[in-house]
Amino acid sequence: MALPQMLSAAEAYLEEAGARRTVLPVIQPADPFLDMAGEDLRRRIFLTESETGKALCLRPEFTIPVCLKHLQERPLEPIRYGLCAQVFRQHRDGDSEFFQAGIEDLDTEDAIAADARALADAAGLVARLRGTGEGLHITLGDQAVFAAILEALGLPGGWQMRLLRAFGQPDALANALNVLSGREAPAVTQDSRVADLLSSGDDAALVAHIEVSMAGSGISPMAGRRPEEIAARLKERAALAATRLPDDALAALERFIALRVPLAEAGRALTAFEGKAEIDVTERIELFAARIEAIRLAGIDPGTVTYDAAFGRPLDYYTGLVFEVGLEGHERPLASGGRYDRLLTLLGAERPIPGVGFVAWLDRIEVLEAGR
């Protein structure tokens, strides 16, 4: 199927799925992406600015623009937004414009049913565009399960946030665990005087040293963070660097991250992990088990889904279920998505608005089909 026909087929599928066709401006405000998207996306945005100096960018994805549109229009009922258009990201191979199609489901209260529907529609759209669902495989993770286990293991709040930010990024997660275990000593600062002052606990002297350093570098305290804020951040980093996780808790966390099982076995595997780690995350496991059943009821064979406890998406706004739909023997996913319940609040919503969505890469599917 050529790309024009694929676009038409995708739009038809989205309409059948009950998604409202939505058109988003190509030029978007850059700040929401710079503030809330993952580092992988932030460094690949095409940036420009308006005549007034406002930071703008070419649309790099659909989720944040849809959420901004939703907040501006304030619909009274849940909506499934259907998107089918180009997005723009910098790539080393020069392929920086590509087509995506997907659905963003906002304000649906039944999160478990909405998650299952998003996953089913992602797989269904890919199968429709390929003309077959044969060979498709789904990888699924859940950041909420990971967060519950971090809390149950008793990690300090700062470390919980660092590990959550590293979720789905194997190198960053491995680095964090090396620091927690003491296998690696992080450098809090390259300034030996700052290191000495941090060790001494002399906050006033630390602030004074930072003030002198800023003045010597020609940096005005009004141009960015104040010396007191910088000192507080350095103290926080030093405290995190000095934290060591007990051996049994570290071993439990590493066992969890290594967990990779068929979805049908995931509930039992998590329960067994909970018992061995001697922690209580029963409520979160029960919610996960309910999601497995909802996925089955949505028509997805659990045998085609793998639960990977360390699997995540490289975007900071995901909070729960995350997934990818791929083809056996091919590395790059054909569709991906997840839940982002905090995003609209961070963008200015006056109340919590749940959200879940996915996109399919039409160009990738076209290339695969051309090679068959």
Query: How many other CB atoms sit within 10 Å of the CB of residue 212?
Result: 12
- In whole angstroms, how large is the CA radius of gyration of the chain? 23
Element (H, E) at 73: helix 63-73
CA–CA–CA angle 100, 32, 123 (5° rounding): 25
Domains and CATH numbers, the chain: 3-138+323-370 (3.30.930.10), 192-242 (no CATH)
Annotated binding site for L-histidine: 61-63, 89, 100, 104, 313, 317-318
pLDDT in tens, the chain (372 residues): 788 899 999 999 999 999 999 999 999 999 998 888 766 677 788 988 888 889 899 999 999 999 999 999 999 899 999 999 999 988 756 578 999 999 999 999 999 999 999 999 999 999 999 999 999 999 999 999 999 999 998 887 777 887 888 888 888 888 878 877 766 555 556 566 766 666 677 778 777 777 777 766 655 554 446 777 777 766 666 666 666 667 888 889 899 999 999 999 999 999 999 999 999 999 999 999 999 999 999 999 888 899 999 998 877 788 899 999 999 888 899 999 999 999 999 999 999 999 999 999 999 998 877 666
Known binding-site residues equal 61-63, 89, 100, 104, 313, 317-318
How far, in Å, CA of 274 to CA of 195, rounded? 40
Q: How far does CA 365 lie from the centroid of its chain? A: 23
With contact defined as beta carbons under 8 Å apart, do 128 and 306 qualify? no
Q: Cα–Cα distance between 201 and 203 in angstroms, integer? A: 6
SS (H, E, C) 98-123: EEEEEEEEECCCCHHHHHHHHHHHHH
Helix 362-370 × helix 3-16 angle, to 10°: 130
